[in-house]
Amino acid sequence: MPLIPRKHRRIYTALLLMLAWYKRRSLPGLLVYILTVSLPLRIAQRLLNVCQAPPQLDTLTASILHAVHWISEGSTHEVRKLLAVIDWIHACKARWAGAKMKAVSGEDGSSVCGLWIAEEWRDLESDRLQENVVLLYIHGGAYCFGGAEYGAPHHLHLIKSFNALEQKTGSNKRLVVFSLEYPLAPEHVFPAQIPVAATAFKWLVSSLGVSQVVVGGDSAGAHMTVSLMNHIKDTPELSKLPIQPFATILISPWVSSPSSAGESLCFDLISLHGIQQADRLVFGHLPEKTNSLLTALKPDDFHVATKGTLVLYGGAGILSKGIEQFIGMLESRSEAVPGLEVVKYDGMPHCFNVMMMDRLYPSVRETALEAVEKTAAFIQRASA
């Protein structure tokens, strides 16, 4: 006798779909929802020529992006659990691809926590670190989610691209990434994260003797990068260090919180409701009650790196209007931003180059690789 009688299978299938819908914020529920609801819907819309997804996204990618919207509808705890699993999977893939990864947790009496990522173990030796370029990477996640393993495949591709470029010139310079672990909201609201990033920067320069530092991040991590640069300028202990960040990398920076989103943005990786909810959790205690990076500062107030600033983003991202306003502010400074580079990919979603390096996204992977190569070339030019 079969486990489920044939006459009851439709009922159990309906119950399974209802359970997947109700538990859609779990990883298994999300996968079931993609396969049984979102993907068939996208296929039907493509066939009927009514799909609103950007033309650069294939049906599979569009269905996954549509389904990911449901993640942001859950509580912080639910979303954090799901994204932690995804980050762990990505870290495993990076290790499988050859990444050498070493966790740091309070070494040498410091409070710095994070993850070293390199192409070769020798690149992490103390004498080599002093010669290499170190990217202090600050992960995104709306200050509420994620950890040091986030974006590991992206970091490995970036490292390999930079090292290959340097090898062609006959240079022994290498790139390594230190991915920072920092306290998350709502338990730790902004700006509690800035001193943690500042301590990590000082640790790299003063304790490890790193001579070339790039600071970068995506989304909230890019917001923290801008805030850290201003913090360094305003803190004599940091501004007087002999080594300063020579470049910054801002990937889809979360510089403002949108009040509305057009229909063309409905296939972004994050939803309007999700970003507004995070905005309240992270910045709601401040006088402005919101992310005020654009309104609280004047163009000349931004402390920029001495050799280069890269702003890279997707044109279909829900934060794109705020990013373009931020770029306009940088371009309107009384003194030009040294080495400012702006790279926009029309039709691409938020942080596509960091979060979409997996082969499940064939239509985006090629563009993501191109963006990584542009980032590597930018670091090489700035570090020359």
Domains of the chain by start residue, with CATH: 99-383 (3.40.50.1820)
pLDDT at 12 (0 to 100)? 76
**Any idea what the Cα angle at residue 152 is, between residues 147 and 208, rounded to 5°?**
75
pLDDT at 117 (0 to 100)? 98
Q: Which helix (H) or strand (E) holds 46?
A: helix 39-47
Q: Which helix (H) or strand (E) holds 148?
A: none
Express each pLDDT in 156-192 by its tens digit: 999 999 999 999 998 889 999 999 999 999 999 999 9
Task: Give the integer Cα–Cα distance in Å for 251 and 25.
Answer: 26
What residues contact 31, with CB distance under 8 A and at least 6 apart? Answer: none
Tell me which DSSP letter residue 378 carries: H
Owner of token pair 């995804």: 86
Rounding to the nearest 10 degrees, give the CA dihedral for residues 301, 306, 308, 313.
-30
What residues contact 266, with CB distance under 8 A and at least 6 apart? Answer: 52, 66, 69
List, for the chain, all residue ranges whose pLDDT scores fall below the cut of 50: 1
Task: Give the integer Cα–Cα distance in Å for 281 and 143.
Answer: 9
CA dist list (Å): 259 to 52, 273, 378 = 21, 10, 33
Phi, psi angle pair for 226, to nearest 5°: -60, -45
Whole-model pTM: value is 0.93
pLDDT at 35 (0 to 100)? 87
pLDDT at 293 (0 to 100)? 92
Q: Which helix (H) or strand (E) holds 347?
A: none
pLDDT at 1 (0 to 100)? 43
Rounding to the nearest 10 degrees, give the CA dihedral for residues 160, 163, 164, 166.
160
